[in-house]
Amino acid sequence: MLTPADEYLIHQTPYTFDTVFTSDRNFYDRYFYNGYRRDGGVYFALAMGLYPNRGVMDAAFDVVLDGRQYVVRGSRALGPDRMDTRVGPIRVEVQVPLRRVRIVVEPNAYGITADIVFEARSVPSEEPHFFRRSGNVTMMDYTRMTQHGSWTGKISVDGREFDISTGTWWGSRDHSWGVRRVGEPAGGRPPSEAPQFFWNWAPLNFEDRCTLFTVSELSDGSRWHQAGSILSLYPDAVETQVEVDHDLVFEPGTRWLKRGKITLAPAAGEPMEITVQPLYHFLMKGLGYGDPKWGHGMWVGPNEVDGVQYDLAKEKPMENLHVQTVSLVKAGNREGIGIYEIILMGPHNRYGFEGLMDPAR
């Protein structure tokens, strides 16, 4: 079926844009955005995903304020128009590709509204392609870009309104697309190996630069994916790719970050050592990661909207392995803020984890 996207000279297959190149049910195309006041006192995040072979589109917008995480989320039947980025009260508008995007959350029953604009501070960083198999089954085959930015606009939550101004609120975003496990389990033979996943992703903002660090490792510390960048700011924005390393300490009784150090080493010049001091942890389940009903690509209904709140002090860390840790960061005399996203499941020799779910001691 022809759609508005078919008007552009950007086709990648012999088909119209409502049909993707593969019949794999796990094909997806997904936005993620976050933002934070520069003292870390307020944090927000948006996720929006489209799943052409499942006929589903979903989105969620979360705000963390005073120890509570507020969530409004929606899911709908996907129509043929891939450029219709509206789900329930949430929509995303690309105003200038790779430079400026508007996010709107219309009034709803869950007390969260937003009308905010992301303005890029740095060029987008294309991370190395992700590819991973479990046995002979492809688990990941996708591309992701990450970009840093500042925010303007307004957000209201639980009766409180925040006027966001450039230079006061920073954040980051990613856009990924390809094949990744989403929706209901596919069935068939279960994996023969024990689960193991060690994922780290840390986009950080400083006054004069931005940095990106990401590493995924097997239990012996060997890396199946890694990337790092130091990015200067617009109008003279450039990206310098670097070698990366990490030194982490975990909160006893959890697999959450207590403190850490990231090293970014360019080919020429001194390494940039960044200390990470966590403020609090954002639960990624609020954006659909692992939620049994509102998980990515799950069929909820033709046009559904829902909301929930989490009291972060009452949430159990070992039941929430996937978090973004809002953190203050330092690199020499530079001070900044960002998030350190982590999933640590299964053994990891370097940090003393031996089983599937043993906590740090």
Model confidence pLDDT, tens digit, residues 229-248: 999 999 999 999 999 999 99
- The pLDDT-based confidence of 135 (bands split at 50, 70, 90) is confident
CATH number at residue 325: 2.40.370.10
Instruction: Lowest mean pLDDT of 162-166, 176-180, 217-221, 356-360, name the range.
Output: 162-166
91 in Cβ contact with 76 (< 8 Å): no
- Residues of the chain with pLDDT > 90, as a percent, come to 93
Which candidate, 130, 127, 124, 126, places its Cα nearest to that of 180? 130
10 within some domain: no
Whole-angstrom distance, CA of residue 27 vs CA of residue 298: 13
Q: Are 20 and 28 spatial neighbours (Cβ–Cβ below 8 Å)?
A: no
Please report whether residue 43 resides in a domain: yes
Closest C-alpha among 60, 17, 68 to residue 41: 68
Is the model's pLDDT at 185 over the cut of 90? no
Q: In degrees to the nearest 10, what's the CA dihedral of 191, 58, 74, 40?
A: 90
Residue 287 CA to residue 158 CA, distance in Å, equals 18
- Do the beta carbons of residue 102 and residue 95 sit within 8 Å? yes
Q: Compute the average pLDDT of residues 217-235.
A: 97
Q: In this structure, what are the phi and psi dihedrals at residue 61, rounded to the nearest 5 degrees? A: -130, 125
**Element of type H or E holding 154:** strand 137-157
Residue 194 has what pLDDT?
77
Has this prediction a pTM greater than 0.75? yes
Q: Does 284 map to a domain?
A: yes
What tens digit of pLDDT does each residue of 145-161 get?
999 999 999 999 999 99
Over 80: is that where the pLDDT of 190 sits? no
Looking at the 3D structure of the chain, how many domains does it have?
Answer: 1
pLDDT tier at 137 (50, 70, 90 boundaries)?
confident
Please check whether residue 172 lies inside any domain of the structure. yes
Q: Taking residues 315-340, what's their average pLDDT?
A: 98
Lowest mean pLDDT among 90-94, 102-106, 184-188, 220-224: 184-188
Element (H, E) at 141: strand 137-157
Q: Could you tell me which of 73, 38, 108, 106 has the C-alpha nearest to residue 310?
A: 73
CA distance from start to end of the chain:
57
Burial of 242 (0-12, 13-18, 19+ CB in 10 A): buried
pLDDT at 113 over 80: yes
Question: What's the Cα-to-Cα distance from 64 to each of 40, 52, 68, 70, 78, rounded to whole Å?
Answer: 10, 31, 6, 6, 29
The contacts of residue 244 (CB under 8 Å, 6+ apart) are 213, 214, 215, 226, 227, 228, 262, 263, 264, 265
In a domain, 2, yes or no: no
- Domain membership of residue 8 (yes or no) is no
Is 4 contained in some domain? Answer: no
User: In whole angstroms, what is the distance from residue 80 CA to residue 83 CA?
Assistant: 9
Backbone angles phi, psi at 168, to 5 degrees: -100, -30
Least confident of 96-100, 134-138, 328-332: 134-138
Q: In the chain, what percentage of residues exceed pLDDT 70? A: 99
Residue range of the domain that includes 272: 27-351
